[in-house]
Amino acid sequence: MHLGYAAGKVLTAAATPGTGQHSSDQHTGVLIGKDTRISGYMLESALQAGLSAAGVDIYLAGPMPTPAVAYLTRALRLSAGIVISASHNPFADNGIKFFAAHGNKLPDAVEHSIEAQLELPIETMPSEKLGKARRIGDAAGRYIEFCKSTFPTELDLRGIKLVIDCAHGATYHVAGEVFHELGADVVTIGNRPDGLNINHDCGAVHPQALQDAVKANGADLGIGFDGDGDRVVMVDADGRIYDGDELLYVIAAFRHAAGLLEGGVVGTLMTNLGMERALTGLGVPFLRAAVGDRYVLEKLQENQWQLGGENSGHIICLDRHTTGDGIVSALQVLHAVRALNKPLSDLVKPVALYPQVLVNVRVARDFDFRSNAAVMDAVKEHEQSLSGDGRVLLRASGTEPVIRVMVEGADPKQIRKHADELAQAVTLAARASVEEGKLATQEK
């Protein structure tokens, strides 16, 4: 509730600079959408109350994918959009994400202003200035038509049988309709949310269910989304899984061959080396951003490029949408499949993915591996051992006290050994840091 109030105060002040309030002839509205987890009801009501107390009108979209909220915020000319979702996480988690008026992430300055406002008490507006709420009855239909508009009008999906796995999440009532209305024969699974089953053994994070359903239904392809619909994986008739790196390559290679790719492609520090080398083999420039779709987007905008993504399945096509969208990304892959009349397996043949091993190491929250000489020496040693035919990456999780150790290279056994040894080095260094901290405290 306090976050809703703080956001409302900041957005209202932005609508009418210098007043902290919106004038009677200036409209400030905020859209709220959510995924299907049970806590969404509670958080939606609390946000709604806070926004209303700040004098901001609220538009309720109900369960809608994260990219749908970005689109609807822009389409309805609202001041901001809010998504209540923990994306691919289990149902007990939840989170809150903001979009600016044009469907982009909020600028840092606005986020900082909201954080500052959170430190201040709630002062409810007078009754006559409280915000009103209304539900958008056609939100799903609007978004379905938008997704369809990103697929070429001269093509359709007739003759293709698809299995769509909605992860019992926010795409449950829209994804199947998009592909069906474009002509595909659609079998939808993971479309019976009960508030507790979102992402549970299904969807993009757990594609086994999709693999099984594709084979059982004799489908040509399977498409899996995560709980909030911003990431995608695909499966072919043989059960082979295609991750975000491979799907991004298919889109980029098709556009490059057609002369439609503006600039290059942005990946992340986790993007597979094989994907990077396949793109550079085509003469397509490639840059790496920090892990996270926000950083991919920033680098795309910085270079005025259009295409980027993560191996997790977040793919951004800025000529189609302002943010990553699982449905739109899948349609871009299907565009290439349909236009070239080739199976997905043929389109990814140039990509020879390197094996990757990822080990999570639990550490104290204040442990900074970058300033730890023992850890950095170990990283340097293992990088040299790979002799340029692999990579070592350490990064701190943004949501838990974990250091993620990733080693990539040609030999699976070798990189497993490197990853385990590096993880052990991090563990020992983190323990030593804790002991040093205890000693320092005792001395004081």
Residue 27, pLDDT above cutoff 60: no
Structure tokens at 395: 């990064």
Q: Residue range 244-260: average pLDDT?
A: 97
CA-CA-CA-CA torsion sign (117, 19, 61, 71):
negative
* 3-class secondary-structure state, position 10: helix
Indicate whether 444 belongs to any domain: no
Mean residue pLDDT across the chain: 93
Q: Are 14 and 79 in contact (CB under 8 A)?
A: yes
134 lies in the same domain as 6 = yes
Chosen domain end from 353, 374, 396: 353
131 lies in the same domain as 39 = yes
Residue 59, pLDDT above cutoff 90: yes
256 lies in the same domain as 182 = no
Q: Are 325 and 305 in contact (CB under 8 A)?
A: no
Structure tokens at 259: 């002369």
Residue 32, pLDDT above cutoff 60: yes
pLDDT, position 282: 96
**Phi, psi dihedrals of residue 161, rounded to the nearest 5°:** -100, 125
CA-CA-CA-CA torsion sign (66, 48, 2, 107):
positive
86 lies in the same domain as 193 = no
Per the model's pLDDT, the better-predicted residue between 388 and 90 turns out to be: 90
- For residue 269, give the CATH number of its domain: 3.40.120.10
108 lies in the same domain as 213 = no
The parent domain of residue 159 ranges over 151-242
Residue 15, pLDDT above cutoff 80: no
Picking from 345, 347, 426, 351, the residue whose alpha carbon sits closest to that of residue 382 is: 426
Kindly list the strands in the beta sheet with 356-362, ordered across the sheet, starting from the edge strand earlier in the chain.
Answer: 356-362, 402-409, 390-396
77 lies in the same domain as 173 = no
Residue 17, pLDDT above cutoff 70: no
Instruction: Identify residue 274 by its one-letter amino acid code.
Output: G
pLDDT, position 14: 64
83 lies in the same domain as 18 = yes
Place of tokens 């991004």: 248
Residue 22, pLDDT above cutoff 70: no
Indicate whether 145 belongs to any domain: no
Picking from 85, 97, 102, 105, the residue whose alpha carbon sits closest to that of residue 40 is: 85
Picking from 42, 48, 47, 34, the residue whose alpha carbon sits closest to that of residue 86 is: 34
163 lies in the same domain as 133 = no
Chosen domain end from 138, 165, 200: 138
Q: How far apart are CA 67 and CA 318, in angstroms?
A: 12
Q: How far apart are CA 417 and CA 407, in angstroms?
A: 9
Active site residue 39: no
20 lies in the same domain as 131 = yes
pLDDT, position 388: 76
Q: How far apart are CA 64 and CA 66, in angstroms?
A: 6
Indicate whether 166 belongs to any domain: yes
Instruction: Identify residue 72 by its one-letter amino acid code.
Output: L
Which helix (H) or strand (E) segment holds residue 224: the answer is strand 221-225
Indicate whether 143 belongs to any domain: no
Picking from 282, 288, 294, the residue whose alpha carbon sits closest to that of residue 267 is: 288
123 lies in the same domain as 22 = yes
DSSP string, 290-353: -SSHHHHHHHHHHHT--EEE-TTS-EEETTT-SS--HHHHHHHHHHHHHHHT--HHHHTTT--P
DSSP string, 394-413: EEE-SSSSEEEEEEEES-HH
Indicate whether 175 belongs to any domain: yes
Place of tokens 């209305």: 181
Q: How far apart are CA 149 and CA 71, in angstroms?
A: 13
pLDDT, position 26: 43
Picking from 306, 307, 266, the residue whose alpha carbon sits closest to that of residue 287 is: 266
Residue 229, pLDDT above cutoff 80: yes
Confidence of residue 433 (pLDDT cuts 50, 70, 90): confident
Least confident of 12-26, 166-180, 224-238: 12-26
% of the chain at pLDDT higher than 90: 86
Confidence of residue 434 (pLDDT cuts 50, 70, 90): confident
113-153 confidence digits (pLDDT tens): 999 999 999 999 999 999 999 999 999 999 999 999 999 99
The count of structural domains within the chain is 4
Q: Residue range 202-208: average pLDDT?
A: 96
pLDDT, position 24: 40
Picking from 351, 352, 363, the residue whose alpha carbon sits closest to that of residue 404 is: 363
pLDDT, position 294: 87
Q: What's the Cα-to-Cα distance from 55 to each of 4, 125, 323, rounded to whole Å?
A: 11, 6, 28
Q: What is the pTM (predicted TM-score) of this model?
A: 0.90
224 lies in the same domain as 260 = no
Chosen domain end from 353, 369, 400: 353
Q: Residue range 385-396: average pLDDT?
A: 88
Strand (E) positions, 85-182?
A: 96-100, 133-135, 161-165
Tally: H helices and E strands in the chain: 14, 17
Question: What residues form DSSP beta bridges with 81?
Answer: 31, 99
290 lies in the same domain as 343 = yes
Q: Residue range 14-22: average pLDDT?
A: 45
Determine which one of 52, 79, 85, 87 is catalytic: 87
